Amino acid sequence: MVSEARKKAERDTLMEELRKSEKKYHMLFDTIDEGFCVIEVLFDEADCPLDYRFLEIDASFERQTGIKNAVGRWMREIAPEHEEHWFQIYGNVALTGEPVRFENPAFALGHYYDVYAFRTGDPEQRRVSILFNDITERKKVEKALRESELKYRTLSNILEEKIKERTAELKRAYKSLKKIETVRKKEIHHRIKNNLQVISSLLDLQAEKFNGKNSIKDSEILEAFKESQDRIISMALIHEELYRGEEVDTLNFSQYIEELANNLILTYKFRNDVSLNMDLDENIFFDMDTAVPLGIIINELVSNSLKYAFVGSDNGEIRIQLHRNESKSEGRTTFVLVVSDNGKDMPEDFNIENADSPGLQLVTTLVDQLNGELELRRNNRTEFIVKFSITEKNNQVNSQT
């Protein structure tokens, strides 16, 4: 009797402890935010999951799922359209005992869940404990974010494509305008050259009236016509070079000097056997503001040598030199032009600043226009030295490399 009473007391104590433990267990799951349930999975003879029913639920279950009075009910009864993947996942956990964590939609319930499922109890009971959380709102935000990002990328791609198209259109328009501008400038240079040639021809016709006459006055008038023609030709050559060349705003001045000087030699060739030597840096490009006055300066100095330096001589030499001397700040380059001859020396008392010759007076004026310096040297040769500084353009400098 004593033994039986002791056993009964021990059983009662164990049952009380079990009730307390279960109470704590339920209190624990009733206080968590996540939904919790225990299900029993029903299989067919081939161990394919058919359905599951709810054995236990916590206080958050109804709030998380929207299912009322779930205990004891089968899922296919509650939601006939419930997705098949839920049955397959829980069936696999019940059979294998392998826990699983996943996120899946339950469209029949109108929710999206983050789920952790694990087998509980004996394997033959086919029970699965499920801890889950409703992440529908998070998924909606993620979907909205993806859609927003997709719209942004689509809009960005459209804008990028539009920008590319517009840029291409602008480039084509700019290229077309540049071509039109080039053609227009070439036409202007061509017309100016033709007009200058007409003026030169008119001067030539006027000069014919005085040709062959012996008076000093007529000779001076004829010489004035000749000098004017030479100056006009020097300018016409510039426009001719710009019309023929690839550039319409800058002139390859080294090539221009050679053509100008050779034309002058041919003009005065009948007087003496004068040779022309040139020492020029290659790829010197000047714009019109520099090329025109410098071309006239060379015309005047070479013409002056041809007219006066070799009187009474059978031959002679004229030398033209043009070099870059040094680079200054702000990209400005100093050039030195030297026009010299080995003919008759200039008088010792000759002062170029007070020269009576209209041609040399013009040279002085044009050197000032270039903000340059003019110097006369006598060293077995008569040398006119012109120094000036300009800013060379990038395409001009690059052409030297």
Write down the domain spans for the chain. 17-134, 269-401
Percent of the chain with pLDDT over 70: 70
Beta bridge partners of 390: 333
**What does the pLDDT average to over 146-163?**
88
CATH fold of 17-134: Beta-Lactamase (3.30.450)
pLDDT in tens, 377-393: 888 888 999 999 988 76
CA 137, CA 159: separation in Å to the nearest integer?
32
Averaged pLDDT score across all residues of the chain: 79
pLDDT at residue 352 greater than cutoff 80:
no
Confidence of residue 170 (pLDDT cuts 50, 70, 90): confident
Asked whether the predicted pLDDT for residue 146 surpasses 70, the reply is yes
Per the model's pLDDT, the better-predicted residue between 310 and 84 turns out to be: 84
Q: Is the model's pLDDT at 401 over the cut of 50?
A: no
Average pLDDT over residues 8-36: 68
Rounded to whole angstroms, the Cα distance separating 39 from 84 reads: 16
CATH superfamily of this structure's domain 269-401: Histidine kinase-like ATPase, C-terminal domain (3.30.565.10)
Banded model confidence at residue 243, pLDDT cuts 50, 70, 90: very low
Contact 390, 293 (CB under 8 A): no
DSSP reduced 3-state for 282: coil
Reference 386, options 257, 313, 297, 315; nearest CA is: 297
For residues 291-309, one letter each, b for 16 or more C-beta atoms within 10 angstroms of the residue's C-beta and e for the rest, the string is bbbbbbbbbbbbbbbbbeb
Task: Give the global pTM.
Answer: 0.50
**Is 390 in a helix, a strand, or coil?**
strand
Asked if residue 224 has pLDDT above 50, the reply is yes
Give the pLDDT of residue 265.
Answer: 77
Cα–Cα dist 15/20, whole Å: 8
pLDDT higher than threshold 90 for residue 92: yes
> Counting Cβ atoms within 10 Å, is residue 225 exposed (0-12), middle (13-18) or buried (19+)?
buried
